[in-house]
Structure 1
């Protein structure tokens, strides 16, 4: 986590310096010109100009100043809780730390606890689930690195939890390495029910389901999607990102998996400058991995994939999407074999190793 600590008084600058030394992640200090302490960090003349320049550059902010100042200065830059940084406010006496913005997904509540412990301040957290001591779906998503789908349903689900409705958390035990998700959830106090019991478990009002599968559900629900799918892609030169994304989504749904569970795209090194592919990866917010012809050919030979003489003439190897899917996911088998769309071929494997991280 990359955090900026910003003060407006000399006393606040002293606290910022002390706080920065107590934290074990990357911290930058900004002090008002003429009020810095021991020449620590950087200085600024205008707080509004500083925030305009740096608001998108940090994962979190600790403002040592009045809450009203912070509200006014950050207001023009707040967009969406999925993307806003964590914002914590402290008084320059170090008595209280307030979680102001992006408490769950941005981890402001967590940052508030951390900075409070560092200077022996009282943490002030107002998110309803935390106050009630109840598990929140977005906290679980952040903890387990899961994608919330549909995001618009999150508010209703968390409200149901706070209001005392029966919200049941379900876990898909068929997920590869499901204990990676199961054990941290249990440590958080979340009781997980086997997803196989979803149809039989009628005594719930809403459901939160950890799975990469597409399900039919009639009751209010929220999916938490793990990144489990490796997509192998072959395409003709000039194919648009819209065409590629449409083909990917169709193929995911063909095998009953959510496109929100895509972890990585794979293709041939020949396509390293393919604009449509690069844009598709950017829109999906996943890495795009390129493999050499030698790597693809070795996988083709080991798996005995069917090859195309036309493809081989064009790029030097007879198959792209199937070997690229396996290589991207470090997998041994495919969930979806080569599927042809206009100008595009897609194959899908289940990720066994996130080797690119």
Structure 2
């Protein structure tokens, strides 16, 4: 499966609308019930089916990000009920009446993207979008989508439901952001009066909150965990850059061990690593490439000329002879992060050197 969406219809009008949508919404396969699919010729992106829809849907659920059904809402509910597993894995499901008057976000409105897809389809078909999730109706933000555009990651989903409930029910919610992108409030959304933005843990603890959202790349101290985590959602922004240097042939296992040990020493989260930065000559280093692939990190590469633009305290003639630069991990970390200073200057461990910097967001350097 190379396309993102499946549009399924079983009536003549519905099949014609599904075909229109397939032409207008990129990445959409159209499935039409063969008996009423006059004019629909099987080809790439257009398919006929003769079996009952309930037999077709299981395969579509597992293969597509979104399933668009030109059925009544009641029929959709009955058809998808046996297929539901988890809100983090279920596809977006959209219901559209066969005249195309209403486009309804049925399932996975937030994490699955059904609400956004609903708005897109409604615009393409000149229909009325129907979205019923509380945060969208209230015009505020969704806790489970916070920072999604920036690839923030929640440490756990255990408290997501209770924190979301506190937000939409007007209970006092505290937000503490220590680093990461600042523009996380969706366009057109407003911050409710019962949400308090805190500038420090001390301020957070002093506020009378029922639930909290914490955005940080640091590991919480034990007292903070015991006080906060039972009623908080903890998000990890991608805010850390690891400058790495290594001897040729250094294994992925050694590189990973140094990274993990270093971040633990600094009390920083591995989940907040954005990328690794190093010298261009290391672009084919198997251990580095394997490590980046394992965690989905990008590998930023810099020429000797670029690396030498960053002043370092202890330039190395040995490194210069090998790479053409007087240092690798320290200048690479600053070049990639945009920061003015390091959280950790060069540390050597075995075959590896490592430096850590925090990303400069929106022209404001983050510091804890």
TM range (shorter): 0.7 to 0.9
- Bigger mean CA offset, 135-144 vs 217-226: 135-144
Aligned partner of 1:94 in structure 2 is: 100
Deviation (angstroms), 1:207? 0.8
Measure the CA separation in 1 of the matches of 2:235 and 2:211: 14
- Which of the numbers 130, 137, 144 marks the counterpart of 2:143? 137
CA contact (8 A) 1:104 1:138 kept: yes
- Which of the numbers 96, 106, 111 marks the counterpart of 2:112? 106
Matched position secondary structure for 1:273: coil
- CA spacing shift, 1:240–1:73, aligned 2, 3 Å: farther
Matched position secondary structure for 2:360: coil
Measure the CA separation in 1 of the matches of 2:105 and 2:256: 38
Aligned partner of 2:305 in structure 1 is: 294
Deviation (angstroms), 1:288? 1.1
- CA spacing shift, 1:11–1:204, aligned 2, 3 Å: same
Deviation (angstroms), 1:215? 3.5
Measure the CA separation in 1 of the matches of 2:267 and 2:290: 25
Which runs of no fewer than 5 residues in structure 2 stay unpaired?
Answer: 363-368
Matched, 1:71 2:80: yes
Q: Deviations over 1:205-255 (max 9, x none)?
A: 221023334444212222233322221111234444444334324433444
Aligned partner of 1:32 in structure 2 is: 32
Please give the TM-score of this superposition, normalised by the length of structure 1: 0.76
Deviation (angstroms), 1:163? 5.9
Aligned partner of 1:42 in structure 2 is: 45
Measure the CA separation in 1 of the matches of 2:86 and 2:181: 35
Please give the TM-score of this superposition, normalised by the length of structure 2: 0.74
Aligned partner of 2:365 in structure 1 is: none
Measure the CA separation in 2 of the matches of 1:274 and 1:69: 53
CA contact (8 A) 1:144 1:184 kept: no
Matched position secondary structure for 1:267: strand
Mapping for residues 114-153 of structure 1, pairs under 5 Å:
114-119=120-125, 121=127, 123-125=129-131, 127=133, 129-130=135-136, 135-142=141-148, 145-153=151-159
Measure the CA separation in 2 of the matches of 1:205 and 1:245: 38
- CA spacing shift, 1:209–1:19, aligned 2, 3 Å: same
- Which of the numbers 209, 215, 223 marks the counterpart of 1:210? 215
Aligned partner of 1:8 in structure 2 is: 9
- Bigger mean CA offset, 322-331 vs 63-72: 63-72
Across the aligned residues of Structure 1 and Structure 2, the Cα RMSD in angstroms comes to: 3.8
**Equivalent residues, number:** 340
Which runs of no fewer than 5 residues in structure 1 stay unpaired?
Answer: none
Aligned partner of 2:366 in structure 1 is: none
CA contact (8 A) 2:110 2:144 kept: yes
- CA spacing shift, 1:312–1:74, aligned 2, 3 Å: farther
Aligned partner of 1:194 in structure 2 is: 198
Deviation (angstroms), 1:278? 1.8
- Bigger mean CA offset, 66-75 vs 159-168: 66-75
